[in-house]
Amino acid sequence: MNYKNLTIYGPFVQAITLEDLPDKGAIAMEAIVPIKNAGILVDEKGKVVECGIYSHLVDSYYASAPKIKSMHPQVVLPGFIDSHTHICFAGSRANDFEMRNSGKSYLDIAASGGGIWSSVQHVRNATEEQLVQNLNENIKNCISQGITCIEVKSGYGLSVVEEVKMLRAIKKAQENCPIKIVPTCLAAHLKPKDFDGSNAEYLTYIVNELLPIIKEENLSDRIDIFIEKSAFSPEEGLNYVLQAKNLGFKITVHADQFTPGGSRVAVEVGALSADHLEASGEEEIQVLATSETVATALPGASLGLGESFTPARKLLDAGACLAIASDWNPGSAPMGQLLTQASILATYEKLNAAEVFSGLCFRAAKALDIKNKGKLSAGFDADFQVYDVEDYREILYHQGSIRPTQVYSKGISLV
């Protein structure tokens, strides 16, 4: 190993590595064992070489003249991974929020011209450059929250031209972005009002006309579909995702948000994740728990819509892999504060810090099929965040009101 290009970060009062925690199921509170007086050794490629006691790292590597970054005593933990967002958008849906608070249902709002279709109109009226600018601002916000990897969906274009515009905007934003962006094609968000045909015909149109362009331009290797009464049925969804899978796309599913059905499709096709799950019952929980499909809770949608939370406690106790993501979007989940959402979910679903941080870090990475992020462990990307506290439990205790003072991606300071 070439020790000349190593960097030691620290010392930290505590380092939360998440290194030995399981991929699935409940986790005991005591499973988090902080490394005290810790440091992180990072190589020139931005990979963690070792996370251990700071004095040991200095004694072992100082003679080889690595750089050493001295910091105030703080707590360090892996960067968060937001595995479900819609942050490429234009316009506002404040009217939707007001209508919901006046007693209108999700379907009532959609029928009146609000909902997803409202965002479609805003995106279609925006230029690609405007979408890039909006997305860049939202990414900066995410980084300030300690998020070092973000999934970003299309789904507000709902035509070949407009979906390609969105995915190109996401790709352009990634080119100058200091963190990893994972693009997902959500052209199957719902059948657009201006499409002259059935749901099945619209999905065939996507498969035949849009997905080949996405492949050719390398815009995304993932597809998503909203399986719900207001969008696509489980039967329609199953046919679509199987076709997409045969074309080489990875699968994720908006599932069981208002009614069950989508999670079974997700498991049947081997989807990476089934997201939402607010309406999942005991049968759906067991199906997810016995699969490798990640169950992704989206507390921002529950808070935005005034709906029940994903049954996170039951999912974990049944043995499922639980991730927690923000669902940041202009309509049903406009908050966009991942840590606050996760802290509130933890309060209502009785999740301990080990389960929450796992769901925000390496279990969220699993939902994106990423194997080198989400832990402070040898070989993982040196994505980490630093808080001005002396006990890691303070972070969730303050429910998102404490933000990281430093954020690093592959060892490079972003905040």
Instruction: Report the chain's mean pLDDT, rounded to a whole number.
Output: 95
pLDDT exceeds cutoff 60 at 12: yes
Same domain, 131 and 224: yes
Spatial separation of the C-alpha atoms in residues 79 and 402, rounded to whole Å = 15
**What is the DSSP secondary structure assignment for residue 386, as one 8-state letter?**
E
Confidence of residue 65 (pLDDT cuts 50, 70, 90): very low
Residue 85 is part of a domain; what is its CATH number?
Answer: 3.20.20.140
369 within 8 A of 362, measured Cβ to Cβ: no
Confidence of residue 73 (pLDDT cuts 50, 70, 90): confident
Same domain, 47 and 118: no
Domain count, the chain: 2
153 within 8 A of 85, measured Cβ to Cβ: yes
Same domain, 128 and 214: yes
Q: Which pLDDT value is given to residue 175?
A: 95
Same domain, 64 and 159: no
Spatial separation of the C-alpha atoms in residues 382 and 47, rounded to whole Å = 5
pLDDT tens digits, one per residue of 193-234: 999 999 999 999 999 999 999 999 999 999 999 999 989 999
pLDDT tens digits, one per residue of 174-196: 999 999 999 999 999 999 999 99
Same domain, 102 and 150: yes
pLDDT exceeds cutoff 90 at 47: yes
Same domain, 328 and 406: no
Q: Which pLDDT value is given to residue 64?
A: 61
357 within 8 A of 77, measured Cβ to Cβ: yes
Mean pLDDT of 360-381: 98
pLDDT tens digits, one per residue of 115-138: 899 999 999 999 999 999 999 999
* Domain range enclosing 173: 80-367
Q: Which pLDDT value is given to residue 80?
A: 99
